[in-house]
Amino acid sequence: MNSNKVEPRRLSLRERISKSWFPPAGVAGAFTAFVPAAHGARPDPQPASPTAEPAASPAAGQAGEPARASRRLEREYALIAVLGAKSAALPFHHSLLGIAVGAGDSIYALGDDEVRVYDSGGNVVRRWKTIARAGCIAAGPDGRVLVGAGNLVEICDAGGSRVGGFAAGDATKPARITSIKAYGKEILVADADARIIRRYDTNGRQLGLIGNQNKTGSFILPNKSLDFDVDAQGVVRATDTGRHQVTAWTIAGSPLGKFGRFGMTNPEDFVGCCNPVNLANAPDGRIVTAEKMISRVKVYEPDGKLLAVIGPENFDPNCIHIHLAVDSKGRILAADPVRREIRIFSLVARKGNEPTGELHPSAHGKLEEVTRG
Amino acid sequence: MSEKSTRRQFIDRSCRILGFAAIGGAAGLLSHRASSNAVYQVDPGKCTACDLCRTSCVLSLSAVKAVNQFDKCGYCMLCPAYFDISSAPNEKAIPSGKVCPQDALKRRVVGRVDEEDPNNNYYEYTIDETLCDGCGKCVKACKPPMGNGSLRLEIRYARCVECNECAIQIACPDRAIVRIPVPGLSPAVGAKEDKHA
């Protein structure tokens, strides 16, 4: 029988978690309360007009404080620019599937069946059509651009001309590439069907496997997607979403360590069935992760200590991926595939333990001034 | 001398013809519908798992059941459709609550079993249809971005009594109950297990 009893609206899971982590006014409210009014803090976490131009200039701290985007932890990040948004000169109309940072902090975005190259000022300087079913992108320090599409790897030069390519996977079981990275002359691809990372040379000869030296012989991927990054020392960090962990491996495939666990209340933990879904290494050794269900980006120490949270108000709640990249200045580039825009976050400066209300000097290109904590 | 029909006769004759045509058309439509091999089914693209399938079906235990699509399922250890992941964790850091109020969603380990660390196991989730009442709570919890969206609601033909007008179809706010032709389906859809409530 139907009951006509009116019950108070039950909060959704997302609302309950959000309320338990953040004050009622949300993250922006927390910072508005935290930063003295004289600093002119802007409660709106969004930039006034999302354009391809950076929203914050060196004078941002004087004209009006940049919108703060992260929870008050050891580090804080502010949204400084949005690329490819609907209001931009060249928006992403259909898709935004990947992002990478190349030499000179050029930004490579994969979307709308093409590769777009932005300069460090956020202007599109090159674009070219890519192969069908392209799903991930990487940029090597030598200017090579790698695109993964199904089981195929396409190698292009900096101008977009195809210079090579190969099919990844076993002869009987082709790979399903969900992430790709360049390491020296090697090409690493995440094979989500085999649930391992494969190492190749540029001719497509397999050099080894990463991720098979554990109890199950593979990652556990309920979300059927594997993401990873490799740093200059050859440390590969990968998402083990079913175990709610970030795992670290040597380039030869030996396990180095892991951190992370499931949890719905502590921001250090990873929520839901399978997280983190995306990952990127920062140049200072920190690890940036992205989660679904609660769409958010977090920054960790290599040992798993949480440094910053860029909260869910910055991303579409229906994201099942937030593609990540970090430039040489430590700025976090997060590609929201639902809103189809690239959001760039920069570190907020601190004086002692207190944020000054201005962007960290690293946002303006002074990498040497990046401080820890 | 030919008789010229009056206007009244003309209208009378026209009305009769139209009436017969309407009756014939309606009869044809009904007989076609009665003999056609079509069934009611849930369109998963429109379904929002609003719980009306449970309350609107004329059967005491709804003919709508949750179904797991295994090729989409992640075989999660922490399935958001099985565990109420916002409930307090137990001593093993696993949520203590379950989503299904009927406990109709069952799970078992498949493949190699690691008893020390459950995170290393794959779990297969199936629905006990004798318990499932079609409330759709698991379906809602499995929808992306929380899960893979492998669970969906489906009308089970063995239980559906093929009402002339499906009560769930009338109640559904999302027009998710559609009538679809099934070539080769026997008019006697299946053994009707339940009587009308």
CA A61 to mean position of chain CA atoms: 26
User: Nearest-CA residue of chain B relative to A320?
Assistant: B145
Higher-confidence position of A1 and A288: A288
Q: What is the pLDDT at residue A356? A: 72
**Mean pLDDT for all residues in chain B:** 89
- Name the residue among B80, B93, B120 with its Cβ closest to that of A272: B80
Q: What is the pLDDT of residue A69?
A: 58
Partner-chain contact B74 A221, CB within 8 Å: yes
Query: pLDDT at position A201, please?
Result: 96
Chosen for mutation from A273, A292, A336 (greatest number of chain B CBs closer than 10 Å) is A273
Query: What CA–CA distance (Å, rounded) separates A262 from A274?
Result: 9
* CA–CA separation, B152 and B176 (whole Å): 12
Cα B98 from chain centroid?
23
Average pLDDT over residues A237-241: 97
What is the per-residue pLDDT across A68-126, written as a single tens digit (0 to 9) for each?
555 568 889 999 999 999 999 999 999 999 999 998 899 999 999 999 999 877 899 99
Q: Strands A134-139, A145-149: parallel, antiparallel or unpaired by DSSP?
A: antiparallel
Residue A23 scores a pLDDT above 50: no
Name the pLDDT band for A141 (thresholds 50, 70, 90).
confident
Domains and CATH numbers, chain A: 77-351 (2.120.10.30)
CA distance A238 to A280: 9
Q: Mean per-residue pLDDT for B68-74?
A: 96
User: How far apart are the C-alpha atoms of B168 and B177, rounded to whole Å?
Assistant: 7
B contact residues 73-92, partner A, Cβ 8 Å cutoff: 74-80, 85-86, 89
- Average pLDDT rounded to a whole number, residues B123-149: 96
As a residue count, chain A comes to 373
pLDDT of residue B92: 83
Q: Which 8-state DSSP code applies to residue A174? A: B
Report chain A's mean pLDDT, rounded to a whole number: 82
Q: Model-level pTM?
A: 0.79
Residue A70 pLDDT: 55
Higher pLDDT, A104 or B70: B70
The mean per-residue pLDDT over the stretch B159-175 comes to 93
Residue B170 has pLDDT above 80, yes or no: yes
Average pLDDT over residues A150-155: 97
| Mean pLDDT across B49-77 | 96
Domain locations in chain B?
37-181
Task: Provide the 8-state DSSP code for A251.
Answer: T
- Predicted confidence band of residue A64 (pLDDT cuts 50, 70, 90): very low
User: For chain B, how far is it from start to end, CA to CA, in angstroms?
Assistant: 68
User: Nearest C-alpha of chain A: how many angstroms from B109?
Assistant: 14
Q: Which residue has the higher pLDDT, A41 or A20?
A: A20
Q: How much is the pLDDT for A11? A: 58
pLDDT surpasses 90 at B120: yes
CATH architecture of the domain with range B37-181? 2-Layer Sandwich (3.30)
Average pLDDT over residues A272-289: 96
For the cut 80, the answer to whether the pLDDT of residue A301 exceeds it is: yes
ipTM greater than cut 0.85: no
